[in-house]
């Protein structure tokens, strides 16, 4: 998003110049407050915009940090700068605690719980004698540095500007890194994210931790600037204002959120004389932004830029290369001789409905296995059990030698299970390249990004290179920068396969990969899957396209009403009377017609 | 079955909207001017042209700021303060102002939020204002005091928390007694005059309630009495069954309430309905209009203490009430009265300094003696001007001085 | 023991108020997929209309209540038109959008009615009922009965009447519902009208127990929202149970922990939801994971 970065740096420079002394005390003070809220907004954007975790308690973390600074400096007479690491650490701890509800619930539940905890904090601060009760803590000393005392708003301005710039750089790095990709993938589709190996729970806690980091910084600097904290300083009304700032600026954009905060505070200060009508107008603005521009100003800017870009570039149609068989040149995967998937007596119920009924099935290495059956026969349910999405009610299931019963989807992905979905589940806000890159195994570890960013960045470069290779192998290089929503359906399916292969799987499960494809595309799909098998990856696919199944699969299993009818070679299966009855009805079975639905 | 077609639906909305507008227009408080109206500023007549620059200026209008909550939960306090101040300032301006210079008032909305009030304070500092009325909220006052102190801009606040006096800030003045004054009067009455031995307390934990609680407790201790119950509630609380039933079990002779007007009214209602017969005693909120409205007939017999008992006490208050009624169509109480007194004092002080602000103005205010609606002002080093309050009892919905 | 039982009585009374408001939240969510944070402010509107009719127009209380409820319902239809783009969006957008609308309502109320509030008295002067030392106000009993009756009526309406089923259908799959001949827009308008009416009724019933001022809906709204979640968002019996539960939780928390009561209430709520994320009766929603 280079345009956004350019714009923001422009704004930063402008603000820096403006704050350098040309403006009077009030304007600088306003900018100071704006910069603090910008830091807060950046943190909130990481948690909510980038990672999709509702966090209405950001203001409480802000408050914990502010109060920590206040108490340490006024009651215990610490030096101001010594309180910074402590405040940030306590804020981090609070953020991690807040991440725990996020493991149990999302969306409006997480919203009301975090909101309630924010109220609880405010109320606690109003009661606790250590925190000064309702009157708060005043006379917090302003910080000094190298002999300079930051006790004028002008001096504080440079301190805050520096903090914001550092914060933006760090947040931008996180967002654009492999970790950021994972957070955004989780936001877009946490089920698919788990399926490609993302530890969703850890990511959620990480999202809160990053937000808390910024809130911790902001809280400490706020205490030093204003010199006074009280429960009202960190009330839920401030939280709602912060949320509005982020929404107006554009919650998925780090820079947008920061800009939104600065804009709103500056606007409020300009309207400082206009009380009630200003409030009314502000409410109208909030509604208008949400209704007309849900991605905020940053979103509007991005949309116009992208529109201009595509309009400029239209005229050349993108050339999609047909699949050229290059996958077969990839490094071979160690073949498995024995059972790849072992299912014994598997049952899965939804209420009274038996989705899977005592299924016993062995799938061996080195074959392409097909799974067919009428709609509602339990095929996708079977896949979901195999990938850890559903927990079986009875029976045992081992995949690649591992008992899946206690495994999370991301754990199964880590041991080599990959899948595609019946309805394409690509991450809609990630480009084709990013979709693939986020699936690359052995990407950076979480702690690397947080503490040793250069290692994380190195891993990201490597992951990107590998992802480009895979895209190239599948003939998708030309659309690497496109968003999935901009691609025709057939290509989206191919991208999903690319993403699945990025994880270097030993087992690839495909759920109706040919649905919606035309004849050429189906043929290409067959070629791709044969090459995948040639490399050593085991392939299992659910399909309705009988000609593909017959030509591609070495063995076929048939499910009907949750039960396994037969598992054998395609030719045998298509003539089996039970199968024919299931598909074509009793009369056809009696008549001896084979199943040849095309 | 209810069948609202699309068109009919719009019609319903329009009709409903007009009815609502009609209803709203006839509502009891609709005649109040919107907060922050520009009624304060009059055309600068005869001023010598030059616009005031930051800091002291010896010609042009004298710029004074009012910082108060004009929106949010505390907005009625802000509106009342604006009324009191503008009444006094308008009269002074009509009489020629200060040495011919008009006083120009500007209201700022701090939304009752400390961060906003510090922003507002900075605006005031940069805007060339030489004095501040407000904030009415104690926490906001504490927030802005250091900023205004640095710029040597005096302020007079309607907050009564002892924490304000404890700032020991030479630029901070109060137009009301502090909680200590209120509650020592009350405690003396309860213990010494009426001889109550068992006194229960119920207060909330915001800055007002806490300061009331602490002041009353201190006053009781000084008289050698320990309360039989000390219940703390939250400012938003609606149901006091638990607290009041616990109190009822201690069979108190008197119940002290340390909460704002509306909450006090709710507490009194629930206390009465639970069969509590203790004498209700409290501070200024007991005598205020929102309490009387909320408690209704339950207010009768309650005793409160305030430097401003009611509008019919003497000629001065009657004239004041008539003036407020004429200007704003509202019935004033303590909030307008103390704001009015504060404004009068500042006007006197400005006359002394010939429109100068800064330390000179602060000193002049401290030196000013004034007999106001809320008492005889004589400022001490901490900025407290009135140290006594009076007692009153509610009879037939009116506050009547207690002998 | 006396304190305990009396606390239960007080908690149930306000719990009934929360239940009524929660009913509106849940209904609007269930039929429109909209989390409406301005619901508390709709309550405020209803309360102001009702109290103005009583105080300024001297209308009998019952008439004022009915009239203000109808008016608020009609306004609700207008609000739905404005908030329609927010339906089915994710929570952030709904939160900010409806909050913004709430600000509009509050500012509007200040502009129209000023910042000073209004007080109305309990409409009938029946003496409190004394049961072995426990005092029960007839008015509070009436509120409980009203909440139960309205809840039951709503439950039957949604589940047994054609209109109610149509409303649910249009929330579950508006395209299919449209294909079945259901006017989805009309369903949403009706849903919002009913939801707003519920808020107005709650506001009118609660007014004598509170003070009608522009921010009266804020703390009520948050608690009612928590109540709706606790009971299972979208569930009608859940709203009732959740409301009563929050009312009791609040009263006991403040009784036992005094000033820290609010802390206890919301931390307990957080723990309860963490234990059972879909609420007591489970969530009746239209979203698919």
| The predicted structure's pLDDT at residue B49 | 31
Per-residue confidence band for A2, with pLDDT thresholds at 50, 70 and 90: low
At C88-144, the pLDDT tens digits run 677 778 888 888 889 899 888 988 888 778 888 888 777 888 888 888 989 999 999
Quick check: C115 and B78 CB within 8 A? yes
Class of domain B179-306: alpha beta
Cβ-Cβ contacts under 8 Å, A194 against chain C: none
Nearest in space to B272 (alpha carbons), one of B289, B255, B250: B255
C59 touches chain B (CB under 8 A): no
| The predicted structure's pLDDT at residue A298 | 83
At C234-280, the pLDDT tens digits run 888 999 999 999 999 999 999 999 889 999 999 999 999 888 888 88
Cβ-Cβ contacts under 8 Å, A33 against chain B: 115, 118-119
Chain C nearest-CA distance from A121, in A, is 7
Domain containing C26 — which CATH number? 1.10.3470
| The predicted structure's pLDDT at residue B18 | 53
Which residues of A, range 279-298, sit inside 8 Å of C by Cβ? 279-280, 282-287, 289-291, 294
Cβ-Cβ contacts under 8 Å, C136 against chain B: none
Average of per-residue pLDDT values in chain A: 86
Per-residue confidence band for B344, with pLDDT thresholds at 50, 70 and 90: very high
From the list C14, C112, C115, the residue facing B239 with the nearest CB is C14
Could you tell me the pTM of the whole model?
A: 0.87
Q: Is the peptide bond before B135 cis (omega within 30 degrees of 0)?
A: yes
Residue A442 has pLDDT above 60, yes or no: yes
| The predicted structure's pLDDT at residue B203 | 95
Chain C nearest-CA distance from B307, in A, is 22
At the fourth CATH level, which superfamily is domain B54-177+314-378?
Response regulator (3.40.50.2300)
Residue A457 has pLDDT above 80, yes or no: yes
Of A315 and A267, more confident? A267
Residue B155 has pLDDT above 50, yes or no: yes
Looking at chain A, the whole-number percentage of residues with pLDDT higher than 70 is 90
Chain A nearest-CA distance from C219, in A, is 10
- Using CA atoms, how far residue A230 sits from B139, B165, B211, in Å, is 8, 18, 15
**Which residue in C has a C-alpha nearest to residue B16's C-alpha?**
C71
Mean local confidence (pLDDT), A489-495: 90
Q: Provide the H-helix boundaries in B250-370.
A: 261-273, 289-295, 315-328, 334-353, 358-367
Cβ-Cβ contacts under 8 Å, A297 against chain C: none
Of A218 and A15, more confident? A218
* Domains located in chain A, CATH noted: 34-272 (no CATH), 333-416+507-525+538-598 (3.40.50.300), 423-503 (no CATH)
Quick check: A123 and B118 CB within 8 A? no
The answer to whether residue C6 sits within a structural domain is yes
At B172-205, the pLDDT tens digits run 999 999 888 899 999 999 999 999 999 999 999 9
Burial of B361: CB neighbours in 10 Å, binned 0-12, 13-18, 19+: buried
Quick check: B275 and C211 CB within 8 A? no
Per-residue confidence band for A17, with pLDDT thresholds at 50, 70 and 90: low
In terms of DSSP bridges, do strands B390-395 and A417-419 run parallel, antiparallel, or are they unpaired? Answer: unpaired
| The predicted structure's pLDDT at residue B341 | 94
Quick check: C211 and B34 CB within 8 A? no
* CA–CA distance, A435 with A198 (Å, rounded to integer): 13
Per-residue confidence band for B19, with pLDDT thresholds at 50, 70 and 90: low
Beta strands in A52-186 (DSSP E): 137-138, 144-145, 148-149
At A51-76, the pLDDT tens digits run 999 899 999 999 999 999 999 999 99
| The predicted structure's pLDDT at residue B35 | 34
Neighbouring chains of C at 3+ CB pairs under 8 Å are A, B
Per-residue confidence band for A301, with pLDDT thresholds at 50, 70 and 90: confident
Pairs of residues, one from chain A and one from chain B, whose beta carbons lie less than 8 Å apart:
103
Residue A483 has pLDDT above 60, yes or no: yes
Cβ-Cβ contacts under 8 Å, A240 against chain C: 96, 99
| The predicted structure's pLDDT at residue C286 | 37
Distance from first CA to last CA of chain A, Å, rounded? 45
* CA–CA distance, C256 with C118 (Å, rounded to integer): 31
For A342, phi and psi rounded to 5 degrees?
-120, 115
Mean local confidence (pLDDT), A108-112: 85
| The predicted structure's pLDDT at residue A23 | 66
| The predicted structure's pLDDT at residue B37 | 34
Residue A497 has pLDDT above 80, yes or no: yes
Residue C42 has pLDDT above 90, yes or no: yes
Domain with C247 in it: 2-115+134-275
| The predicted structure's pLDDT at residue B380 | 92
Mean local confidence (pLDDT), B53-68: 74
| The predicted structure's pLDDT at residue C69 | 95
Cβ-Cβ contacts under 8 Å, C14 against chain B: 238-239
**Which residue in B has a C-alpha nearest to residue C59's C-alpha?**
B23
Looking at chain A, the whole-number percentage of residues with pLDDT higher than 90 is 36
Half-sphere exposure of C42 (CA within 13 A, CB side): 37
From the list C110, C211, C255, the residue facing B290 with the nearest CB is C211
Looking at chain B, the whole-number percentage of residues with pLDDT higher than 90 is 52
* CA–CA distance, A183 with A450 (Å, rounded to integer): 14
**Which residue in C has a C-alpha nearest to residue B17's C-alpha?**
C75
Average of per-residue pLDDT values in chain B: 83
Mean local confidence (pLDDT), A230-255: 89
Cβ-Cβ contacts under 8 Å, B210 against chain A: 133-135
The answer to whether residue C143 sits within a structural domain is yes
The answer to whether residue C29 sits within a structural domain is yes
Per-residue confidence band for A401, with pLDDT thresholds at 50, 70 and 90: confident
From the list C90, C110, C277, the residue facing A105 with the nearest CB is C277
Residue B46 has pLDDT above 60, yes or no: no
| The predicted structure's pLDDT at residue B6 | 41
**Which residue in A has a C-alpha nearest to residue C89's C-alpha?**
A294
Q: What is the ipTM score, two decimals?
A: 0.89
| The predicted structure's pLDDT at residue B48 | 33
**Any idea where the domains of chain B sit in the sequence?**
54-177+314-378, 179-306
Which residues of B, range 13-32, sit inside 8 Å of C by Cβ? 13, 15-17, 19-20, 23-24, 26-30, 32
* Helix then strand then coil, % of chain A, to nearest 5: 60, 10, 25
The answer to whether residue C121 sits within a structural domain is no
Looking at chain C, the whole-number percentage of residues with pLDDT higher than 90 is 44
Weakest-pLDDT range from A365-379, A543-557, B72-86, B189-203: B72-86
At B296-314, the pLDDT tens digits run 999 999 999 988 888 888 8
The answer to whether residue C263 sits within a structural domain is yes
Residue B100 has pLDDT above 90, yes or no: no
| The predicted structure's pLDDT at residue B397 | 87
Per-residue confidence band for C20, with pLDDT thresholds at 50, 70 and 90: very high
- Structural domain count, chain C: 1
Per-residue confidence band for B33, with pLDDT thresholds at 50, 70 and 90: very low
| The predicted structure's pLDDT at residue A150 | 60
* CA–CA distance, B151 with B143 (Å, rounded to integer): 14
Residue A532 has pLDDT above 80, yes or no: yes
Neighbouring chains of B at 3+ CB pairs under 8 Å are A, C
Mean local confidence (pLDDT), B233-259: 93
Neighbouring chains of A at 3+ CB pairs under 8 Å are B, C
From the list B36, B106, B138, the residue facing A135 with the nearest CB is B138
């Amino acid at each position: 998003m280079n345009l956004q970065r350019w714009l923001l740096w422009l704004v930063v420079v402008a603000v820096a110049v403006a704050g350098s002394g040309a403006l009077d005390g009030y304007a600088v003070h306003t900018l100071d407050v704006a910069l603090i809220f910008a830091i807060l907004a950046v943190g909130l954007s990481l948690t909510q915009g980038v990672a999709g975790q509702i966090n209405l308690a950001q203001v409480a973390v802000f408050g914990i940090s502010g109060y920590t600074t206040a108490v340490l400096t006024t009651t215990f007479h610490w030096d101001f700068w010594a309180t910074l690491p402590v405040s940030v650490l306590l804020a981090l701890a609070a953020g991690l605690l807040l991440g725990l509800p996020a493991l149990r619930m999302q969306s409006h539940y997480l919203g009301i719980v975090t909101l309630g905890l924010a109220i609880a904090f405010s109320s606690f601060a109003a009661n606790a004698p250590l925190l000064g009760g309702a009157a708060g803590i005043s006379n917090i000393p302003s910080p000094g540095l190298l002999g300079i005392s930051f006790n004028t708003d002008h001096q504080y301005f440079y301190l805050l500007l520096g903090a914001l710039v550092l914060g933006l750089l760090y947040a931008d790095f996180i967002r654009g890194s492999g970790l950021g990709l994972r957070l955004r993938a989780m936001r877009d589709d946490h089920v698919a994210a788990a399926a490609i190996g993302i530890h969703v729970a850890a990511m959620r806690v990480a999202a809160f931790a990053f937000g808390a980091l910024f809130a911790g910084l902001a809280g400490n600097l706020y205490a030093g600037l204003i010199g006074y904290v009280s429960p009202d300083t960190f009330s839920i009304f401030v939280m709602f204002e912060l949320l509005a700032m982020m929404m107006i600026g554009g919650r998925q954009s780090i820079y947008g959120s920061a800009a939104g905060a600065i804009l709103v505070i500056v606007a409020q200060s300009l309207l400082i004389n206009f009380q009630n009508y200003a409030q009314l107008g502000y409410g109208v603005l909030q509604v208008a932004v949400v209704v007309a521009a849900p991605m905020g100003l940053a979103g509007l800017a991005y949309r116009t830029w992208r529109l201009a870009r595509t309009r400029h570039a239209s005229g050349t149609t993108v050339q999609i290369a047909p699949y050229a068989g290059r996958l077969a040149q990839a490094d071979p995967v160690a073949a498995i001789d024995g059972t790849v998937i072992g299912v014994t007596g598997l049952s899965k119920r939804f209420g009274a409905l038996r989705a899977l009924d005592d299924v016993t099935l062995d799938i061996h290495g080195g074959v392409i296995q097909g799974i067919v059956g009428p709609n509602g026969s339990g095929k996708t349910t079977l896949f979901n059990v195999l990938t850890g999405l559903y927990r079986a009610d009875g029976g045992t299931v081992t995949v690649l030698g591992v008992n899946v019963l206690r495994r999370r989807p991301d754990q199964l992905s880590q041991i080599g299970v990959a899948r595609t979905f019946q309805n394409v589940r690509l991450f809609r806000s990630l480009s084709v390249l990013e979709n693939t890159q986020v699936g690359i195994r052995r990407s950076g570890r979480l702690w690397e990004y947080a503490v040793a960013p250069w290692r994380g960045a190195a891993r990201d470069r490597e992951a990107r290179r590998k992802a480009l290779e895979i895209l190239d192998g599948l003939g998708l290089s030309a659309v690497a920068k496109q968003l999935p929503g901009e691609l025709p359906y057939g290509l989206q399916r191919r991208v999903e396969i690319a993403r699945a292969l990025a994880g270097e799987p030993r087992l690839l499960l495909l759920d109706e990969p040919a649905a919606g494809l035309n004849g050429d595309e189906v043929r290409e799909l067959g070629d791709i899957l044969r090459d995948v098998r040639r490399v050593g990856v085991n392939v299992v696919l659910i399909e309705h396209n009988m000609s593909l199944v017959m030509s591609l699969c070495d063995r076929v299993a048939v499910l009907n009403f949750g039960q396994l009818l037969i598992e054998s070679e395609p030719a045998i299966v298509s003539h089996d009377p039970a199968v024919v009855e299931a598909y074509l009805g009793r009369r056809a079975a009696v008549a001896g017609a084979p199943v040849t639905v095309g | 079955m209810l069948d609202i077609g699309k068109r009919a639906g719009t019609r319903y909305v329009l009709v409903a909207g007009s009815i609502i507008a009609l209803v709203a227009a006839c509502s009891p408080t609709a005649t109040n001017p919107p907060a922050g109206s520009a009624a304060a500023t009059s055309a600068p007549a005869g001023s010598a042209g030059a616009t005031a620059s930051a800091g002291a200026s010896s010609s042009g209008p004298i710029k004074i700021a009012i910082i108060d909550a004009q929106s949010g939960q505390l907005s009625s306090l802000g509106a009342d303060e604006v009324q009191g101040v503008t009444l006094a300032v308008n009269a002074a301006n009509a009489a020629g102002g200060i040495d011919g210079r008009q006083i120009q008032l500007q209201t700022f909305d701090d939304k009752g939020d400390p961060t906003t009030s510090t922003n507002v304070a900075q605006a005031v500092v940069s805007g060339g204002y030489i004095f501040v009325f407000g904030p009415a909220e104690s926490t906001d006052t504490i927030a802005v005091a250091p900023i205004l102190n640095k710029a040597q801009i005096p302020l007079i606040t309607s907050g009564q928390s002892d924490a304000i006096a404890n700032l020991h800030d030479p630029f901070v003045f109060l137009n009301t007694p502090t909680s200590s004054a209120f509650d020592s009067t009350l405690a003396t009455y309860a213990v010494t005059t009426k001889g109550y031995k068992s006194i229960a307390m119920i207060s909330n934990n915001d800055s007002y309630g806490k300061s009331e609680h602490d002041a009353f407790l201190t006053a009781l201790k000084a008289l050698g009495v320990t309360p039989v119950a000390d219940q703390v509630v939250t400012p938003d609380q609606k149901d006091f069954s638990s607290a009041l039933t616990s109190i009822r079990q201690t069979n108190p002779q008197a119940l002290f309430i340390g909460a704002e007007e509306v909450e006090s009214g709710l507490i009194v209602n629930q206390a009465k309905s639970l069969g509590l017969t203790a004498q209700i005693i409290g501070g200024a909120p007991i005598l205020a209009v929102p309490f009387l409205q909320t408690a209704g007939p339950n207010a009768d017999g309650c005793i409160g203490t305030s430097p401003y008992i009611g509008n019919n006490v003497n000629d001065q208050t009657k004239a004041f009430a008539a003036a407020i009624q004429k200007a704003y169509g509202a019935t004033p109480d303590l909030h307008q009265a103390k704001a009015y007194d504060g404004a009068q004092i500042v006007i006197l002080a400005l006359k002394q300094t010939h429109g100068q602000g800064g330390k000179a103005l602060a000193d002049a205010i401290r030196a000013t003696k004034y007999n106001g609606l809320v008492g005889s002002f004589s400022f001490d080093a901490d900025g407290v001007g009135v140290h006594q309050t009076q007692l009153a009892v509610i009879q037939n919905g009116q506050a009547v001085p207690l002998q | 023991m006396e304190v305990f039982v009396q606390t239960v009585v007080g908690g149930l009374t306000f719990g009934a108020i929360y239940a009524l408001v929660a009913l509106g939240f849940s209904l609007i969510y269930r039929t429109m997929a909209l989390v409406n944070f301005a619901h508390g402010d709709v309550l405020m509107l209803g309360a102001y209309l009702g109290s103005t009719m009583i105080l300024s127009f001297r209308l009998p209380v019952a008439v004022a209540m009915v009239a203000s409820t109808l008016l608020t319902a009609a306004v609700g239809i207008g609000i739905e038109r404005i908030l329609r783009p927010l339906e089915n969006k994710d929570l952030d957008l709904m939160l900010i959008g409806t909050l913004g609308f709430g600000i509009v309502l509050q500012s509007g109320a200040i502009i129209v009615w000023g910042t000073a509030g209004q007080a109305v008295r309990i409409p009938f002067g029946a003496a409190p009922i004394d049961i072995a030392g426990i005092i029960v106000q007839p008015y509070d009993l009436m509120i409980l009965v009203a909440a139960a009756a309205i809840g039951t009526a709503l439950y039957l309406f949604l589940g047994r009447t054609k209109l109610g089923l149509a409303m649910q259908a249009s929330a579950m799959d508006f395209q299919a519902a449209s294909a079945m001949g259901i006017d989805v827009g009309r369903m949403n308008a009706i849903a919002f009208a009913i939801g707003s009416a519920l808020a107005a009724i709650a506001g009118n019933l609660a007014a004598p127990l509170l003070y009608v001022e522009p921010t009266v809906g804020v703390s009520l709204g948050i608690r009612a929202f928590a109540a709706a979640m606790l009971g299972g968002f979208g569930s009608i019996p859940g709203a009732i149970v959740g409301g009563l539960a929050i009312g009791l939780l609040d009263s006991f928390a403040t009784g036992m922990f005094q000033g820290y009561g609010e802390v206890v209430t919301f931390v307990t709520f957080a723990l309860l939801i963490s234990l059972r994320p879909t609420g007591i009766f489970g969530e009746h929603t239209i979203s698919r994971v």
